[in-house]
Amino acid sequence: MVVLSWLFVLMLVCFAVAPSLIAPRNPVALDILHRLQPPSFAHLFGTDEGGRDVFSRVVYGTRYSLGISAAIVLSAAVFGVVYGALSGVGPRWLDEILMRIVDIFFGFPALVLALAVAAALGRGLTSVAVALSLIWWPGIARLVRGEVQRIRERPHVEAARAIGVSPTSLIWRHILPFVMQEVNVRVTTDIGYALVAVTALSFLGLGAQSPTPEWGLLIRDSQDYFGSAWWYLVFPGVMIMATTAACSIIGDSLASHRESGVAP
Amino acid sequence: MTVFLLRRVGWAILVLFVVATLTFVLSHVVPADPAAFLAGQNATADTVARIRAEYGLDQPLLIQYLSYLRGLLHGDFGISLRTGRPVSEDLASFLPATLELLFFSFAIYVATSLFLAIIAAKRPGGRLDSGIRLFTMLGSGMPVFWLGMALQFLFFYKLGLLPLGGRFPLRAIAPPTVTGFLLVDTLLAGQPGAFLSALSCLILPSAAIVLNLLAVGTRMSRAALISESGKQYVRTARGKGVGPRRILYRHVLRNAMTPILASTSIQFGYMISWVILVEVIFDWPGIGLYAYQSFQVFDYAPVVALALVSTAVFSIINVLLDILYPIIDPRMRSLRA
């Protein structure tokens, strides 16, 4: 399963990097004569209401959907790691303040807030990225803070302090490398969840705008047609599900690798 | 207990304040000129100036902010540009539908996840346990909006068993509004037929929400039940000859309730978000659909109201769950006093 997941992710990366090499057709060119065709050899995933090839749209959409999800999680991770580390090693009062701020973010339904923020910023993938990054970092910050506090009690940190290692080097060389294992697992799994959030906001019309072939937008566009054209709904959805599953399988395998005690 | 409750309520108010401030800042600072935005593309300079004065946008930002907060305290969310009515009035007419869907789904979710967890925890690793895990994982793997549409495809387009969307069939006679919850109102009016049609509209939207969240709920409850069943007092009870049913319901379930409740309150946040999405798919006339239709035409006040109301609902539910802990587990009473 793990190998399969890696292969799937590799395929997605190819889709995102060089869609023109893989997609058989132009993702936005209309072909009204062949509208809403079921899947065939000519159109692997069928065609949509404008006669566009759904497979090509899915391939081109990878760059938008998955690219934005990865960007959200990575930016949230960078901020969350700095924030969490600061909270974990800083003085008690700072930790208290920083963590109360994080708590506030757990006080409201996150997706609804992201929706409000994205709506305020105006439609577009950038708004979605900003809105979701805003709600994504607190979870990572909380994880990092906990890990930092756990690791810093370990004997090797005590030993490093005893021989006079500077605080900066203590954090960078002796604490963060361990914390990053945990963060890697989280980031991998979260990319799948971020994909669901991105496509959800696009589905609501807040993200990519037509005719951008973004996966969530594809599902939104299929709303009026899927009763008679199942392929239009099914394939973009299957791509989202497969990606989420692959991310969590890879995340799990990273987690078990870490548990086996392989230190960086 | 009172001190604890006051602290919780104070915290909830702080969270609401943050949401209000954040949405204000975003809607007033980010667009370069909200008045021009409100007036539309073809407006003259005069119109923009008039709108600016009308909405108080010519005032300093701080004054605007304070009057906005004062308005919120009085339940004034502004005017919806789309419906032309005060947002608070719109909310009052749409909120019951949302709450009905939310509470109905929540009840089904709690009952189903507990039921599945009890079956699964009977023989961990058994065939039934694996089956339940597979079934729930399948549901949670699907994005909720996609799952909703898949259910529509299956149960409306293919099988024709359940309605595509809406809250009540158009031709049916709606009962007089008492609680705003159609399930309750139809029963109060003594219309079992109408009750069934209201129920049939509820099934698919709540199924989408519940199926998506079931995996986490079942897994948490199952883990709590298994960990409780392994404890000494269960062995003692079994040794004394207490029946398995009594052990489960009187002993294990009561003790497992605390961790189950804790996971439930987290899940509730997701449930609120999913309700918003599902309302859009199933054309369910709640505040989610209302806000959705509003921001399609750049009407922002209802979106702010949605964020505030759903945060308030979430906070209230969390406070209620916090009150439940010491009732379920008397050991927590002394600690919280």
A86 Cα to chain B: minimum distance (Å): 23
Q: What's the rounded Cα separation, in Å, for the pair A173 and A158?
A: 13
Q: Which helix (H) or strand (E) holds A34?
A: none
B115 Cα to chain A: minimum distance (Å): 26
Q: What's the rounded Cα separation, in Å, for the pair A199 and A210?
A: 14
Q: What's the rounded Cα separation, in Å, for the pair B198 and A171?
A: 59
User: Minimum mean pLDDT among A64-78, A153-167, A249-263: which range?
Assistant: A249-263
Q: How far is CA B119 from CA A4, B132, B224, in A?
A: 32, 9, 13
Q: What is the ipTM of this complex?
A: 0.87
Whether A264 has a pLDDT exceeding 80, the answer reads no
Under 8 Å CB-to-CB from B95, ≥6 apart: which residues?
B180, B286, B287, B309
- Best of B9, B149, B211 to disrupt the A interface (most A CBs within 10 Å) is B149
Mean pLDDT of A135-154: 91
State the pLDDT at residue A262.
Answer: 46
Q: Which chain B residues are Cβ-neighbours of A251 within 8 angstroms?
A: none
Is A108–B143 a contact, with Cβ atoms under 8 angstroms apart? no
Q: Which chain B residues are Cβ-neighbours of A122 within 8 angstroms?
A: 31
Is A121–B12 a contact, with Cβ atoms under 8 angstroms apart? no
Is A112–B11 a contact, with Cβ atoms under 8 angstroms apart? no
Cβ atoms within 10 A of the Cβ of B310, count?
28
Distance of CA B298 to the CA centre of its chain: 24
Mean pLDDT for back-to-back runs of 10 residues, chain B (337 residues):
82 88 78 64 77 75 86 85 86 92 93 92 88 86 90 89 82 76 84 85 93 89 90 90 87 86 84 92 92 85 90 88 81 60
Is A237–B18 a contact, with Cβ atoms under 8 angstroms apart? no
Mean pLDDT of A69-81: 96
**Short-list A214, A68, A213, A64, CA closest to A132:** A68
Q: Which chain B residues are Cβ-neighbours of A108 within 8 angstroms?
A: 15, 19, 269, 307, 310-311, 314-315
Per-residue pLDDT tens for B222-268? 999 998 888 898 899 889 988 888 888 888 888 888 888 888 888 88
Establish if B269 touches chain A: CB-CB under 8 angstroms: yes
Establish if B295 touches chain A: CB-CB under 8 angstroms: yes
Q: Which chain B residues are Cβ-neighbours of A112 within 8 angstroms?
A: 272-273, 276, 306-307, 310-311
Is B306–A233 a contact, with Cβ atoms under 8 angstroms apart? no
A104 Cα to chain B: minimum distance (Å): 6
Establish if B15 touches chain A: CB-CB under 8 angstroms: yes
Across all residues in chain A, what is the average pLDDT? 88
Is A203–B14 a contact, with Cβ atoms under 8 angstroms apart? no
- Minimal Cβ distance to B306: which of A112, A205, A237: A112
State the pLDDT at residue B335.
Answer: 54
Q: What angle do CA B229, B251, B107 make, to 5 degrees?
A: 95
Is A122–B31 a contact, with Cβ atoms under 8 angstroms apart? yes
Whether A263 has a pLDDT exceeding 60, the answer reads no
Q: What does R_g of chain B's alpha carbons equal in angstroms?
A: 24
Establish if B14 touches chain A: CB-CB under 8 angstroms: yes
Per-residue pLDDT tens for A17-54? 888 888 778 887 787 887 878 888 878 888 888 788 88
State the pLDDT at residue B47.
Answer: 80
A164 Cα to chain B: minimum distance (Å): 42
User: Minimum mean pLDDT among A51-60, A71-80, B323-332: which range?
Assistant: B323-332
Is B307–A112 a contact, with Cβ atoms under 8 angstroms apart? yes
Establish if B316 touches chain A: CB-CB under 8 angstroms: no
State the pLDDT at residue A83.
Answer: 95
Is residue A200 within 8 Å of B145, Cβ to Cβ? yes
Is B314–A109 a contact, with Cβ atoms under 8 angstroms apart? yes
Is B269–A108 a contact, with Cβ atoms under 8 angstroms apart? yes
Q: Which chain B residues are Cβ-neighbours of A228 within 8 angstroms?
A: 157
Is A219–B306 a contact, with Cβ atoms under 8 angstroms apart? no
- Minimal Cβ distance to B30: which of A104, A116, A120: A120
